[in-house]
Amino acid sequence: MTRIAVFPGSFDPVTLGHIDIIERAVPLFDKIIIAIGKNSQKQGYFTLEQRLNWLQELYVHEQKISVDFYEGLTINYCVAKNAGYIIRGLRSAADYEYEKVIAQTNKTLNHDIETVFILSNPEFSHVSSTIVKEVLRNGGDITKMVPLIVTRGA
């Protein structure tokens, strides 16, 4: 049985924290789909095309990773892609509380799909796409928070 996982997020932009979670998840699964979801509660800063291009370029040589876009419930996307796992990164206790509710809701909607939490490495626990965008809006340096490909496009 192939272990397919979905790593959903806005990736607006992709951060070094995202990359850390992805790279640590690769040995755990046969295939990982990095799925850029449309979040009705978030206004996009970067275009979908930019985000797709960045992720595709970052993982062009990693055969286990593909990049996609979806709308709607993540759990429905997982079913459509035959994914049995959802990957979520945790930076803090607040992240855990938020993600726990989502994972439990997903389990209610589809008992066959498991959420796998990967704890952030300490050097990335302060990094979020929201923080990166705020630093950008105010003219700050994001080079220690995002991959080089993002700084070239920001």
Residues designated as active site: 18, 42, 91, 129
Report how far residue 154's alpha carbon sits from residue 73's, in angstroms, rounded to the nearest whole number. Answer: 29
Q: How far is CA 41 from CA 20, 73, 142, in A?
A: 25, 13, 24
CB neighbour burial string for 42-67, b if at least 16 within 10 angstroms, e if fewer: eeebbeeebbbebbeebbeeeeebbb
Q: What CA–CA distance (Å, rounded) separates 116 from 119?
A: 10
CB 68 within 8 Å of CB 97? no
- In angstroms, rounded to a whole number, what is the distance separating the alpha carbons of residues 127 and 88? 15
CA pair distance 143, 9, nearest whole angstrom? 21
